Copies of this chain bind each other. A is one copy, B any other.
């Protein structure tokens, strides 16, 4: 026995007592007849789904009960929930049939009009505020923001296009749909479309199934068959829909770990991530509202970016917002440069002076009309700093932000230098720039890494004080080395061209 393990003893003489709402305990709320019907087969057909759901709040608490708690603890934000849904659990039928008429993926299934792809519009029935806020995120539009930007289309082509050798030169074919789904759209979200239906023998009967392209997918900007976009299951995964899972940083790591956006990797070597890794087994990730210092001793991604936070006296430190940019003065994910956060979530509609769908010019200046102004930046910075200040003194918070914002400026200047080399190469025709693909030659690929990998790493690292990534792990070492290698490549290119 590990000493020092926290536990509480409820003594009930002569009886076994189970605490209310404990995970793993099945306090089923009454299920609807429809859901009971689903369960009768699916407990055998997909036992993992059923067990997962049975342990969820959805199976254990009715919407009516969920709406009765005090405001700060409420998880159901809709002021009204349809009468027919109020008094039983939120089960199979409640999610997979409630808006059947709006869903192109609806099929007849054992007498029910059932659809596969539950969307944020379905969840909105009870979680209205979150569904609405979520649409204000760039993430909610991640599919379109990528696929409707012609410049990014060239980037995808340069990455995902199938290459073949013709003579001594590489040729690139357009990427296949499945390749994009298997790579970029895995996170950005696919376009889920109904291709028809198919009949299959199952353990129960011969049954019709809808055939979907772009499926499976839980990308954040998924285009759904009901016309909506996004997927709540990106973070509230699978059939537990757990707030605990969404609050833990492993969830965010799914899409925020790579060299382009290494947030999780950096978090995990920051002091915050260090404490999370060491102590998470002792923290409370289910409590609503979430009490700083008591429920957790260091923040996770959700703490700083999403969650409703209070102190022990229930004073609100930060309001919950599923529009994560409410706390973001800067967009540090450089495209090509870091910049004030965009005003609108559908960033593919921004156009810079050259007509490119980018929030900055090639020289680093901002497309200001598309970006929030300094006042709005101040408001958002203050919102985020209120979270910092729950655990850090004034000097700490001010010093940290000052250093971070200087680093944003510095990395932009280093990106400008890389872009200067690139522009020179394009001008002197040693590389082929726009309208040709500006991302497919060796020098161009180095240039992309300068801003997409190294400048991003350094900024995320600065934001979270995750030291290694600001120096040697895709940080300044690689940023400075990359510049020197770009200079060298240009020199070799010039040598080569004089030989032709």
CA distance A270 to B234 in the complex (A): 11
User: Which residues of B have CB within 8 Å of A282?
Assistant: 2, 23-24
Chain B residue nearest to A171 (CB atoms) is: B417
CA distance A209 to B393 in the complex (A): 10
Q: What are 9 residue pairs bridging A and B, where the CB atoms are less than 8 Å apart in the complex?
A: A46-B389, A50-B293, A159-B476, A170-B483, A209-B394, A216-B392, A216-B399, A240-B297, A248-B278
Which A238-291 residues have a C-beta within 8 angstroms of B? 238, 240, 244-245, 248, 250-251, 253-255, 257-260, 264, 268-271, 273-275, 277-279, 281-284, 286-287, 291
Is A477 interfacial (CB-CB < 8 Å)? yes
Is A150 interfacial (CB-CB < 8 Å)? no
Q: Point out the residue from B10, B311, B399 that lies within 8 Å of A47, measured CB to CB.
A: B311
Chain B residue nearest to A291 (CB atoms) is: B51
User: Which residues of B have CB within 8 Å of A200?
Assistant: 394
Asked if A15 and B6 make an inter-chain contact with CB atoms under 8 angstroms apart, the answer reads no
User: Which residues of B have CB within 8 Å of A169?
Assistant: 487
CA distance A469 to B269 in the complex (A): 19
Which A156-173 residues have a C-beta within 8 angstroms of B? 158-165, 168-170
CA distance A159 to B474 in the complex (A): 12
Q: Point out the residue from B248, B293, B413 that lies within 8 Å of A48, measured CB to CB.
A: B293
CA distance A293 to B3 in the complex (A): 15
Among A65-73, A181-189, A328-336, A349-357, the stretch in contact with B: A181-189
Q: Min CB distance, A141 to chain B, in Å?
A: 18
Q: Min CB distance, A41 to chain B, in Å?
A: 12
User: Which residues of B have CB within 8 Å of A1?
Assistant: 6-8, 24-25
Asked if B278 and A244 make an inter-chain contact with CB atoms under 8 angstroms apart, the answer reads yes
Q: Which 9 A-B pairs rank lowest in CB-CB distance, beginning with the nearest?
A: A51-B293, A48-B391, A258-B468, A47-B311, A186-B467, A250-B277, A48-B293, A6-B24, A248-B278
Is A406 interfacial (CB-CB < 8 Å)? yes
Among A27-35, A129-137, A370-378, A490-498, the stretch in contact with B: A490-498
Chain A residues with a Cβ closer than 8 Å to the other chain, count: 164
Q: Min CB distance, A442 to chain B, in Å?
A: 5
Asked if B400 and A216 make an inter-chain contact with CB atoms under 8 angstroms apart, the answer reads yes
User: Which residues of B have CB within 8 Å of A434?
Assistant: none
Beyond A293-B50, A465-B186, A485-B442, whether A480 also contacts B161 by CB under 8 A is yes
CA distance A258 to B44 in the complex (A): 38
Asked if A186 and B4 make an inter-chain contact with CB atoms under 8 angstroms apart, the answer reads no
User: Which residues of B have CB within 8 Å of A298?
Assistant: 238
Is A108 interfacial (CB-CB < 8 Å)? no
Beyond A170-B417, A417-B170, whether A2 also contacts B24 by CB under 8 A is yes
Is A40 interfacial (CB-CB < 8 Å)? no
14 other A-B residue contacts (CB within 8 Å) besides A237-B275, A250-B275: A1-B24, A7-B22, A43-B311, A47-B391, A48-B292, A48-B297, A158-B480, A163-B483, A182-B407, A183-B475, A215-B395, A216-B465, A250-B268, A255-B467
Q: Min CB distance, A399 to chain B, in Å?
A: 5
Q: Point out the residue from B2, B21, B212, B458 that lies within 8 Å of A399, measured CB to CB.
A: B212
Asked if B274 and A251 make an inter-chain contact with CB atoms under 8 angstroms apart, the answer reads yes
Is A369 interfacial (CB-CB < 8 Å)? no
Asked if A47 and B317 make an inter-chain contact with CB atoms under 8 angstroms apart, the answer reads yes
User: Which residues of B have CB within 8 Å of A403?
Assistant: 178, 181-182
Asked if B495 and A496 make an inter-chain contact with CB atoms under 8 angstroms apart, the answer reads yes
CA distance A493 to B475 in the complex (A): 27
